[in-house]
Amino acid sequence: MSTLDHEQVVIRTGPRSGLPVIVAVHSTALGQAVGGCRLWHYADWRDGLTDALRLSAGMTAKCAMAGLANGGGKTVVAVPAGITLDPGLRRDVLYDVAEAIESTGGRYATGPDVGTTPADMAVIGERTAGVFCKPPHLGGSGDSSPHTATGTLAALRAVCRRIHGTSDLAGRRLAVVGLGRVGERLARLLAAEGAELLVSDIDPGKHALAAELGATWSDPEQAVTAAVDILIPAALGGVLTEQVVPELRCRAVAGPANNQLATPAVADLLHRRDIIWVPDYVVGAGGVIYALTTELHRADDALARVEAIEGTVNDLLHTAERLEVTPAQAALELTRLRLSTARHS
């Protein structure tokens, strides 16, 4: 039997929406747990629970590695197949989410994630203070995805330096898999850097973006195994499986999608193939860094802190090399150290 390593998990049928609402509080060792609200289709609510448990643990690591005084949590609304959310049902489920957040007594606050927007955060914010990224006119820091993209660009510069000896992305071959809010923004930034782009999305409608950016279009499966310098997962998790690793033709994998590894052992398989994998929770921290820095600390150096991801990744890759471990192991060690220091102080 495995142990529950979360502080608290709230699972309930939303009294208004009738939909399964899950709030997982993984850790408050460093401070209030934060993590986005994912509103997504699942075949079974238990799959949503599994996602919430893993994503919330990822947020603990994300905050710890970003040097934030916050822990990790996550909300998942597991929308059953066949149900579409009309505006009324959407409002109901967001109120249900707000109530579940309130039930944690301030231990957890949410933000946008796959399937939710700052406008949704405004609705949640009608019923709880535990919410980041409301639109600016309501006092929030707004959309976090541009900052996640900026932070990813910073991480990619560090990876590029490690592979090519310079952080200049011009002419580098990069595959962006997933053109959602973060992926599209990132693809635009990379095109502006002069990178040679291959892009892909499950939505064929995104083809137009490829044409606009002068990027090569590919379907998602082929994009993952394309011959590129860096593979950038920017959609849902689980793309890096034991089966796909032998097929990869890239020198590094670094992207903002949360939970990229199907199992932790995949990090070792990548390492054995000499493919650098930078943990997603380091690469994709820009959004949460920006939101928390501006909303909690009222600091004006939020963008500089997002850009600092480049230094974090540089250090991580050096440390991993020096200790002869994977970047994943080095990041895990650092996360553990930061959490245990907090517990003992």
Q: Please enumerate, by residue number, every residue annotated as part of a binding site for NAD(+).
A: 178-183
Cβ within 8 Å of residue 334, ≥6 positions away: 64, 65, 316, 319
Q: Would you count residue 178 as binding ligand PHE (CB under 6 A)?
A: no
Q: Would you count residue 34 as binding ligand PHE (CB under 6 A)?
A: yes
Residue nearest to ligand PHE (CB): 111
Q: Would you count residue 260 as binding ligand PHE (CB under 6 A)?
A: no
**Given the residues 62, 74, 134, 206, the one annotated as active site:** 74
Among 39, 190, 266, 291, binds ligand PHE (CB under 6 A): 291
Phi, psi at 197, each rounded to 5°? -100, 140
3-state secondary structure of 17: coil
Closest Cα to residue 255, out of 338, 182, 188, 189? 182
Triad 228, 230, 231: Cα angle to 5°: 90
CA–chain centroid gap for 244, Å, is: 21
Q: Would you count residue 113 as binding ligand PHE (CB under 6 A)?
A: yes
Beta pairing partners, 107: none
Least gap, CB of 292 to ligand PHE (angstroms): 7
Active site residue 134: no
Quote the CA–CA distance of 244 and 264 in Å, as a whole number: 14
Whether 46 and 53 have beta carbons less than 8 Å apart is answered as: no
Q: Would you count residue 36 as binding ligand PHE (CB under 6 A)?
A: yes
Least gap, CB of 208 to ligand PHE (angstroms): 26
Q: What is the DSSP string of 134-163?
A: --GGGTS----HHHHHHHHHHHHHHHHHHH
The nearer residue to ligand PHE, 233 or 287, going by C-beta atoms, is 287
Q: Which stretch binds ligand PHE (CB under 6 A): 80-88, 107-115, 205-213, 226-234?
A: 107-115
Annotated binding site: 178-183
Least gap, CB of 165 to ligand PHE (angstroms): 31
Give the binding site for ligand PHE (CB under 6 A): 34-36, 62, 111-113, 132-133, 144, 258, 284, 287-288, 291
Catalytic positions: 74
